[in-house]
Copies of this chain bind each other. A is one copy, B any other.
Amino acid sequence: MTRSRPRRARPPAGPPLLNIPFRQPRQPRPAEWLDAEGLERLHNASLDILETVGIDFLDDEALDLWQRAGAQVDWAAQRVRIDRALLMATIASAPASFRWRARNPAHDVTIGGDALAFGPCGGMVYAADLDRGRRPGTMADYEDLLRLSQGCHALHFASWEQVTAHDIPVNVRHLHRVRAALRLTDKPIMEAAHGRVIPADTLAMLALVFGPLDSDPVTGDVINVNSPLRYDERMLGGLISYARAGQATFITPFILAGAMSPVTTAAALAQGNAEVLAGVALTQLVRPGAPVIYGGFTTPIDLRRGSPAFGTPEAAWATLVGGQLARRYGLPYRGSGGLTSSQTADAQAATEALWSLWPAVLGRANLIMHAAGWLDGGLTVSFEKFIIDLENLAMFGHFLDGFALDDDALALDVIAAVGPGGHHLGTSHTAARYRTAFFPATLADRQGHDAWLAGGGQDAAARANRVWKELLAAYEPPPLDAAVAEALDDYVARRERELADARLYD
């Protein structure tokens, strides 16, 4: 069991930093963060919720699938109650790991096991940088973000709707987004699983590039739960479309604890786990063996201000324990990194980002979304924050490589030759390794005060502004067969005509 925190009375006035009681933290550092007894308690609570409270599926096809499977369906309320034996038997067909294909096979990724992949932020309304400030995103912004994500291999994914292209009509925006991703990147494609029309277009366009989509998935997306305990029609259309086509879904309750679940971390975890399990089971009812990821996105709501709080200790626990739950069910795990409420790429942004990223890595997430660019509680993608995050992701990549421990690395002969009181600056052992021994920082400034001042005294955000321009200048588009490019153009042109009056989001 985790320790329970002592109950506190209403906090006194003054900055919270002044109201901390004097006591020493105790380190919890088991092989897993939550012990087996606690994990089973959460598991059983979740199954109780699905059996007794039930969960809403606002889609007739979903309800029909549940009814055929033997669940108890209340059609009037669109509510399903799921027996624990049925639930566990249904999710058993979900794969523990799968390959996600990219149009460049060198960029295929594994989702599951001990493999990790980082993806950029997604769903942002605004784009921001130090030159142009914060403004509604455009297709040009999205294309630049695709280029940054393609060029730097700290990210394993490039496409996701990193920012809304407000200059493209909403009814055809997805067509332009998919085409841009396929033109500008050759990493795996992440695209919106919204309703049934958009996924059908996405899959048709991907088939023009990949051929028949009859093997490992080539796209995937988040399926959010409308917590508490409800899947809406748009999300269910996406889930059913993607699962049927063998594409990946990341079943993710977006829980602001205190609003969309009870305020306590334990309750948020129990409810969220119930929501994920029901969604995972539905993918398997659609198509046994469909690739599906256990997603977690639980964070507190700052109840005094009504705004979400990111990079918090509570969210860290939810992320760590979510990973344990995913492994309990044999499912790949999706976490989030880089989250922050900050409005600018400052110390708060970096602090909260690392309070998201460290727990996601420690929680053994297989896919870490929102790992680059996120600012402003998820409303804004910042080009400078993007670079700050990329450096962090590169550091994690380097860190997770471990270090060599062979005779050459131990270098006992070198230690003996230099001897006590000497130095290692000039040894051949150092000279042979000094360029590649350590993580090569791009953004960090270590040149000392005077040189830093002489160079303009820039902070990390100002330097990041220079770096994203350097990365964009160095960008090279990956080759794309001319016939395929033309087929994509034809598809987009035809569907633009057909969807001219469509209202996909009403």
Contacts and interface: CB of A to CB of B under 8 A. Distances in A.
Nearest to A312: B439
Interface stretch (A4-12, A162-170, A173-181, A280-288): A4-12
Interface in A153-206: 153-154, 156
Nearest to A116: B25
Given A27-B116, A441-B309, A424 B265 contact: no
Interface string A417-457: 01111111101011001111111111111111100110001
Nearest to A19: B440
Interface in A1-36: 1-5, 7-11, 14-31, 34
Contacts of A394: 16-17, 20
- Taken together, the copies of this chain in the complex come to 2
Contact of A17 (B48, B115, B408, B467): B467
A156 B24 contact: yes
A379 interface: yes
A403 interface: yes
Given A394-B20, A411-B267, A438-B309, A346 B460 contact: yes
Q: Which of A3, A24, A55 has the most CB of B within 10 A?
A: A24
A453 B352 CA distance: 20
A328 interface: no
Interface residues of A, number: 173
B347 A354 contact: no
B347 A439 contact: no
A120 to B, nearest CB: 14
Contact of A402 (B3, B304, B474): B3
Contact of A460 (B106, B153, B342): B342
A75 to B, nearest CB: 15
B308 A259 contact: no
B41 A400 contact: no
A152 B396 CA distance: 32
Nearest to A126: B449
A67 interface: no
Contact of A262 (B341, B364, B395, B415): B415
A483 interface: no
Contacts of A355: 354, 395
Nearest to A365: B27
Contact of A446 (B230, B302, B415): B302
Contacts of A257: 437
